[in-house]
Structure 1
Amino acid sequence: MRNEIRRARLAPNRRAWDLLSIAMSVMAADAAGRRSLSPDGWTREFEMEVAVAEPAFWNGTADLLADALSFLTTDRWQFRFIAGGAAPQPPAEVFRPPEGCVVLLSGGLDSLSGAIDLAASGERPVAISKTVRGDAEKQLGFASSIGGGLRHFQLNDNAAVPGTEDTSQRARSIIFLAFGVLVATALKPYRPGGSLPLYVCENGFIAINPPLTGSRIGSLSTRTVHPYFLARFQDVLDAAKLGVSIRTPYAEKTKGEMLKECADQDLLRALASSSTSCGRFQRYNYHHCGRCVPCQVRRAAFLAWGEEDPTDYVYEHLGRDDPDHAGFDDVRSVGMALAAAKGAGFDDWLGGALSWPGIEERDVLKDMLRRGLGELGALHAKYGVK
């Protein structure tokens, strides 16, 4: 990863390098800490000692970091920062890219649609990707196709730990954000303490990810771009005076609405089917399973968009009454959520999903979640899921 930054002749802010060191340490701990070995089979306790260039500053920010990560992973985190972490020496000839913002480009459908919108609006973002097996080539293809070709950095933390790794990966978004912050601070318009935009393009339904059933509460529903986590992460950036502002332009949109309202429909139609949404993509030999929650949200979005979905799903016919289709846990969970919202009422089903402090426009978000659940309902109705 440092080699990519060095070859590009970038000179990021020193605290952005420290933040990356912290994020990489968190990723390693998240992989090494096996949930199955914790007292309750899920919640872990981490005591982190991380070498940084400015330990005095980061020790004063430790509680902010711990709060953000505790929400993100539902674990307990403690940080102590020590001297010894050093940012790489800046290159002899520094290059400062002229672009005025960055956008996270994962290879997913939302980030694709969002990047297309940014380019169509006249913005010239730098695209930042976390290299993931199965998505690297499509990330390159998307970046080269949008706006005549975006400047693009593919980075990877390469976290490897001894023994069996935990697979829950609840902390994964922190490294993606840290990559974005690092490159943002190397851009020509960047100013410490400013507000250079870092765009996180994710639909609001998946961002909040309301627990579909009572058994999916807490970190059993991922919180990678939940508004509370992003707000706490922004607090860390502000405390560090890093001058990067996280923007979530689709926080009040469903996935279907993102697709319908995308500014370049022709380009989106051409690229959408090659994007990745599946939570088990690698497990199914780089094919969409078609039945996990992200796949169902994707399929519902295509349906709401009104465009044919040419994605090759392993489990296509959700209404088939067997354990692989309608009987699969995620399909049942969506079905139970739809039944609960229809029976006891939407507010009762939603429960405390929007109760976190600092979340604004709760009524707007509630209406968006209602529409998102409605998109899933239309998908289940199409396949006769009961």
Structure 2
Amino acid sequence: MTTTRERDQAVLVVSGGMDSCVLAYYYAAAGFDLHLLSFDYGQKHVKELEYAHKYIARLRERFAQGEQGLRVQHEILSLPIASLLPDSTCALLNDEEPMPYGHYSDESMKTTVVPYRNPNMLLQAATVAWGEGASVVAYAAHQGDHAIYPDCRPAFVNAFNAMLAAAMDGPAPIVQTPFLQFSKAQIARLGASLDVPFELTWSCYEGGRKGYGELHCGRCGTCVERRWSFAQAGLSDPTHYASEALDEDEGFHA
């Protein structure tokens, strides 16, 4: 393990989405040097990685300038999750599986679960943290994820930290989840207070496919949740959606 740094460093697992963007700004505002890791794991919405580049470039402009600026490093790593699951019925991995529309509370949303996605990503981040002497690893799991995604629940975070401590002799990095008990609307409010560029983030699971281009579909689970969060937070939503209807049967409850 390398020697301690003058300034604390956090290794963050980030997608192109709004929660990850708020996470990066949250740790930057707290004065951490950042090593940001994004992952190409064979997801349909790989377009999100373009947007990770966009908001991280804006973050650098704000926090990484001058002699006292933070060090902000960003890497995109490949994980062979899709190739290890060639017969997966996951809608995020299998082109033949239709993307479910509606709210995350709907039973159909279970088809968006990617087996062991967060453990895979967090283990890479913990390895980087160990090598660089960073004490903190973080990802943007939040309360809205608990019902559908097992690797976003408190029990998983506690178990993963116990595994990290047992896997190596010496002080292990700690996985932090500062938004674990936040609703997505609370994350949106926090992001607004940090002047986060939400317009440079991407959530849609359709990922610009099916002719959507730079439009979010507006109907998949993550689009519905994104729209709901801005509405509940009382914030203007800068996102452009292909479907503008906010119907009760799509899971939107204003």
Return the TM-score normalized by structure 1. Answer: 0.49
2:77 aligned residue: 155
Higher helix proportion, which one?
Answer: 1
2:17 aligned residue: 108
The alpha carbon displacement at 1:156 in A equals 0.9
1:127 aligned residue: 36
Q: Specify the SS of the correspondent of 2:125.
A: helix
Structure 2 CA distance, aligned partners of 1:112 and 1:119?
Answer: 11
Assess, with a 3 A threshold, how the Cα gap between structure 1 residues 145 and 274 changes in structure 2: closer, same or farther: closer
Tell me if 1:313 matches 2:238.
no
Tell me if 1:257 matches 2:186.
yes
Which residue, out of 221, 239, 242, partners 2:166? 239
2:224 aligned residue: 296
Counterpart of 1:114 in structure 2: which amino acid? L
Structure 2 CA distance, aligned partners of 1:204 and 1:164?
Answer: 30
Unaligned runs of 5+ in 2: 65-70, 91-113
Assess, with a 3 A threshold, how the Cα gap between structure 1 residues 138 and 235 changes in structure 2: closer, same or farther: same
Structure 2 CA distance, aligned partners of 1:121 and 1:109?
Answer: 18
1:38 aligned residue: none
Q: How does 1:31-70 map to 2 (within 5 A)?
A: none
Computed over aligned residues only, the root mean square deviation of the Cα atoms, in angstroms, reads 2.9
Q: Specify the SS of the correspondent of 1:154.
A: strand
Which residue, out of 171, 183, 199, partners 1:273? 199
Structure 2 CA distance, aligned partners of 1:291 and 1:161?
Answer: 27
Q: How does 1:140-151 map to 2 (within 5 A)?
A: 140-146=53-59, 147-148=63-64, 150-151=72-73
2:97 aligned residue: none
Report 1 or 2 for greater relative contact order, CA contacts < 8 Å, sequence distance ≥ 6. 2
The alpha carbon displacement at 1:291 in A equals 2.0
Q: How does 1:204-243 map to 2 (within 5 A)?
A: 204-206=143-145, 208-209=146-147, 221-241=148-168, 243=172
Which residue, out of 200, 222, 237, partners 2:139? 200
Q: How many residues align?
A: 213
Structure 2 CA distance, aligned partners of 1:315 and 1:294?
Answer: 13
Q: How does 1:5-44 map to 2 (within 5 A)?
A: none
The alpha carbon displacement at 1:107 in A equals 0.9
Given that residues 10 and 27 in structure 2 are in contact (C-alpha distance below 8 angstroms), is that contact kept between their aligned partners in structure 1? no
Counterpart of 1:144 in structure 2: which amino acid? A
List per-residue Cα deviations over 1:327-371 (Å, max 9, x = no partner): 5xxx2xx4xxxxxxxxxxxxxxxxxxxxxxxxxxxxxxxxxxxxx
Which residue, out of 161, 168, 175, partners 2:120? 175
Structure label with greater radius of gyration: 1
Structure 1 CA distance, aligned partners of 2:85 and 2:165?
Answer: 37
Structure 1 CA distance, aligned partners of 2:243 and 2:125?
Answer: 35
Given that residues 204 and 251 in structure 1 are in contact (C-alpha distance below 8 angstroms), is that contact kept between their aligned partners in structure 2? yes
1:138 aligned residue: 51
Given that residues 26 and 194 in structure 2 are in contact (C-alpha distance below 8 angstroms), is that contact kept between their aligned partners in structure 1? no
Counterpart of 1:223 in structure 2: which amino acid? P
Tell me if 1:165 matches 2:41.
no
Return the TM-score normalized by structure 2. Answer: 0.72
Equivalent pairs: percent with the same residue?
Answer: 24
The alpha carbon displacement at 1:279 in A equals 3.2
Structure 2 CA distance, aligned partners of 1:163 and 1:305?
Answer: 38
List per-residue Cα deviations over 1:235-255 (Å, max 9, x = no partner): 211111360111111112111
Assess, with a 3 A threshold, how the Cα gap between structure 1 residues 317 and 263 changes in structure 2: closer, same or farther: closer
Tell me if 1:185 matches 2:124.
no
Structure 2 CA distance, aligned partners of 1:234 and 1:377?
Answer: 36
1:367 aligned residue: none
Structure 1 CA distance, aligned partners of 2:23 and 2:158?
Answer: 20
Structure 2 CA distance, aligned partners of 1:260 and 1:163?
Answer: 37
Given that residues 137 and 173 in structure 2 are in contact (C-alpha distance below 8 angstroms), is that contact kept between their aligned partners in structure 1? yes
The alpha carbon displacement at 1:263 in A equals 7.0
Q: Specify the SS of the correspondent of 2:182.
A: coil
Unaligned runs of 5+ in 1: 1-12, 14-93, 191-195, 210-220, 320-325, 335-375, 379-386
